[in-house]
A and B are shown apart, each in its own frame.
Chain A
């Protein structure tokens, strides 16, 4: 209470939202501890922290999804208890989630009508209001289009417009740029600045330092659930921000020299696959060579055919012409995953739990998932001693932090489980390693370790194919980059001969051979 009185004297302006000593516990974890945070009117305030630092939990406390166990929340200076998201919206808090909550088969207007409290509005009126708001803030939308046909960027606009129609005082944006191309990010920032200038406060959640420095005038940094600093990001360096965030410098992978093999190891030769899923993406005439001793990065906003391509590469999908995928001289497109593994193709899937590992099995058994042919099975019997040795070796070599290899996969943190899976695949000494989003949702330390392991594997002559949405990651570890967009694969370019800007444009569909008639928004953005 003293603090409040003191601050009130210092600052004549009442904060729009103020958190004091907020603590939230879950069974076994303290997600937030004694967090203070203050968002002023007309301010873009950053909430910065690595994955798992407690950002999402804190925001859910503000939006009425969780109730804090301790601490107070003030709205416009008044103490409030936010019991439900509806109450949060009523107060004037709008939120754009990282994963959108839209019904694919409904139109934009129908989706927005569902989210609005005031259902008495007649829909025609709503259409007009949507157009009005979207034009005002540079968020062009046609209310009659179905969400199914929208790009990720457009879907985000729908969410923002839905919030704006309720005249919020505070807009919470959870990692809004993680799914956008660089051009779309620029547009979003313009909109956010305009909103700020009209007096709307924005709480901007991210772990991307450059963005925060570009956009935000104040920041609260979380580390392990506690506030590690309040600062003005414009006066900080990326280095100092990173230190606040992780307590040390972000390590970068060291790239030992590597000479690619003259002949490609993995080859896509006009690979096509029409999708049989109405929400899927058809792959069209993909060509790619990956040589031994190089890392090929595949950039692209997710949902552009990565999942479909990875299933074809791993053997989980064997439909289509088997000769279009070649390992050396051999056509492998018709082989199942086990047969491909025996030929030296290892695969790190995007989903760690339930696909890359069996959650309810311990790490020893999880080595059997893909290591069964590495001498872990003899005459049909499992050789547990060898499986345990392998699990121990992975734990040691890849710094998997777990009390024991008898721990269930589900009990490991995302980063540690990912290190285990990457390690398990590397221990097979593959000729080709395919990895989907290898560091998604992984803390900085673990991500650096995974990058290092991949780059080391490259030095041993393995051909690596890495799919990622994170351009920083791809530029750090790749030798060449290609872009996947709407089922089309761009030509590959050496990293040294391209730039974020060019890859960004390609992610929007502007590359030779991309589908010109695409309905994706990115293509129109730059055109």
Chain B
């Protein structure tokens, strides 16, 4: 009788660990093309529409940075927590809170033409994201609740709060009852870096976050404490690293980054508060963080790829008349394949013979 069993590899190959995202990307691409073919679209054309067309112009590249900025910024923040073993799944909610807080500042100072409006919005948004993340931090450190569940459930609370606000207190008084706020003043919005394309400084903020992440994880003692808490909690305890402090720090950094990304959205491409301010960047950023191996350089590339998938989905919707859920399908495949490839990097499949006949 034959049976298959998985066996842990004694030493997973480091090269394979880094190659895994590339393999996952290739598999996603291959299966994506199969899906397009099954839908009756010519695969090569679909490939062009999905992956080349969106970025074959300067304007397209600008759009790529618009999408990549929140993904990279949030992924960088979440990585701190994932390295510390703190699973903040609610970045989407923290993003929404950031948008609400930053947007409220913009609306309160509507028409005020001063340089400090935007910085104040960024600060308010960051603090809003932190405050939203502080709830799971408090519950985890005080009552030992799961930060996974609490942060995830708070996403829906945040979204409903936003829907309420744009239908109530923050609704545009001259908006004919549409669920949206006023358009922000010029002093409350990002201006493009280059005339003619929409790329704005939020992308530079995201790159800055990656540099900060690199220093934190590789150079700072605090980063060592974070990594130790994630890799070996008992060793961290033995070393005198305070687990509650790591939990708070991780959630505040992740929440702050997501909140900042939220303001950048409402102060950037959106320019007002709407019932829906994010195409689930907060969830996609989790995939970006893991696809990027929780490493700054990896996150940069993973963020750009994920941004391309967003753009490709929009472009395929128009050019190929496929539903917009195609973006979700690609994201899902990417996550599925990275997890599957990682599994095979760490385990191998072995054919085992149950009843043995001597080979002699």
Q: State the A residues within 8 Å of B (CB).
A: 26-28, 67, 72, 79, 81, 83, 314-316, 336-341, 347, 349, 351, 354-361, 365, 368-370, 372, 377, 380-382, 411
Contacts and interface: CB of A to CB of B under 8 A. Distances in A.
Nearest to A314: B238
Contacts of B241: 338
Contacts of B235: 354-358, 369
B237 A365 contact: no
B242 A368 contact: no
Given A28-B10, A368-B224, A380-B221, A354 B240 contact: no
A27 B360 contact: no
B239 A337 contact: yes
Nearest to A27: B10
Given A81-B356, A81-B358, A336-B242, A377 B221 contact: yes
B142 interface: no
B224 A365 contact: yes
Contacts of A315: 240
A412 to B, nearest CB: 13
B354 A354 contact: no
A380 B242 contact: no
B219 A354 contact: no
A361 B235 CA distance: 11
B57 interface: no
A26 B9 CA distance: 11
Interface stretch (B97-105, B166-174, B226-234): B226-234
B355 A83 contact: yes
Contacts of B232: 354-355, 357-360
B220 interface: yes
B222 interface: yes
Contacts of B10: 26-28
- With most chain A CB atoms within 10 A of its CB, the pick from B9, B240, B242 is B240
Given A83-B355, A358-B231, A382 B240 contact: no
A316 B358 CA distance: 53
Interface string B208-224: 00000000000111101
Interface string B1-34: 0000000011100000000000000000000000
Nearest to B223: A382
Nearest to A67: B356
B238 A337 contact: yes
Interface residues of B, number: 26
Contact of B221 (A28, A336, A381): A381
A355 B238 contact: yes
Given A28-B10, A83-B354, A356 B231 contact: no
A382 B226 CA distance: 13
A382 B238 contact: no
Nearest to B221: A377
A341 B231 contact: no
B219 A356 contact: no
Contacts of A369: 228, 235, 238-239
A382 B242 contact: no
22 contacts: A27-B10, A28-B10, A72-B358, A81-B356, A336-B242, A337-B238, A338-B241, A340-B240, A347-B238, A349-B238, A354-B232, A354-B235, A355-B238, A357-B232, A358-B228, A360-B232, A361-B228, A369-B238, A370-B238, A370-B239, A381-B221, A382-B224
B240 A338 contact: yes
A360 B233 CA distance: 12
B231 A361 contact: yes
Nearest 8 CB-CB pairings of A with B: A338-B240, A337-B240, A355-B234, A377-B221, A358-B232, A369-B239, A27-B10, A354-B232
Given A72-B360, A83-B355, 13 more contacts: A316-B238, A336-B242, A338-B240, A355-B238, A356-B235, A358-B232, A360-B231, A365-B224, A369-B238, A369-B239, A370-B239, A380-B221, A411-B11
Interface in B229-256: 231-232, 234-235, 237-242
A285 to B, nearest CB: 27
Contacts of A361: 227-228, 231
Nearest to A315: B240
Contacts of B221: 368, 372, 377, 380-382
Contact of B234 (A67, A339, A351, A381): A351
Contact of A359 (B219, B224, B231): B231
B357 to A, nearest CB: 8
Contacts of B220: 380-382
Nearest to B9: A27
A81 B360 CA distance: 12
A316 to B, nearest CB: 5
Contacts of A27: 9-10
Nearest to A79: B358
Given A83-B354, A354-B234, A381-B221, A341 B360 contact: no
Contacts of B234: 351, 354-355
Contacts of A365: 224
Contacts of A349: 238
A354 B232 CA distance: 5
A463 to B, nearest CB: 20
A411 B10 CA distance: 10
A377 to B, nearest CB: 4
Contacts of A382: 219-221, 224
A484 B286 CA distance: 50
A336 B239 CA distance: 9
A121 B234 CA distance: 45
A414 B158 CA distance: 50
Contacts of B237: 316, 337, 355
Nearest to A366: B235
A84 to B, nearest CB: 9
Contacts of B355: 83
Nearest to B215: A381
Contact of A336 (B11, B219, B240, B358): B240
Nearest to B360: A72
Contacts of A83: 354-356
- Which of A26, A67, A79, A380 counts the most B-chain CB atoms under 10 A from its CB? A380
A340 B237 CA distance: 13
Nearest to A347: B238
Contacts of A314: 238
B240 A339 contact: yes
A299 B267 CA distance: 68
Contacts of A357: 232, 235
Contact of B239 (A28, A338, A351): A338
A79 B360 CA distance: 12
